[in-house]
Amino acid sequence: MIVAIASGKGGTGKTTVSASLAAVWDRPAVAVDLDVEEPNLHLFLRPRVLWREPVHLEVPVADPARCTQCRKCSELCQFKAVSVMGKRLITFPDMCHGCGGCLAVCPEGALSPGRRELGVVEGGQARNALFLSGRLRVGEAM
């Protein structure tokens, strides 16, 4: 059986209901907190965290020596994460949404895949439930 507690509005009691169900569930369960901006299920279930894994997003890394200033990358990027200023190719990794379009349209290969850390996913054990949660890094906009 899969039970999901969801609402588009904050403060409706989703975490409280989820924690209550996990606490009284009489069979093994998986409790997952999908609120990566403000995960709070761990406050109720107090899991023993057994592992943490960083999560990354692919972002472009510039090789200015290969850039011919065609501007295809900067014209494509609606988030302005790639720019050609004068004769200089510049990337802004914190503005990148990871679509990979700039890497695909660059005819000279002046952009290569790099990565930036988004946050962590962690897992562990809370009573009779496997516990999973994610958390964005401080300052992450997405």
Cα-flanking dihedrals φ and ψ of residue 76, to 5°? -75, -40
Residue 29 confidence (pLDDT): 92
Model confidence pLDDT, tens digit, residues 73-99: 999 999 999 999 988 999 999 999 999
Structure tokens at 49: 């965290």
Q: What is the mean pLDDT of the chain?
A: 92
Does the structure show a pLDDT above 90 at 116?
Answer: yes
pLDDT at 38 over 90: no
Q: How confident is the model at residue 142 (pLDDT cuts 50, 70, 90)?
A: low
Which tokens belong to 62? 């510039």
Angstrom distance (rounded) from CA 31 to CA 23: 10
Q: What is the pLDDT of residue 139?
A: 79
The residue type found at 10 is G
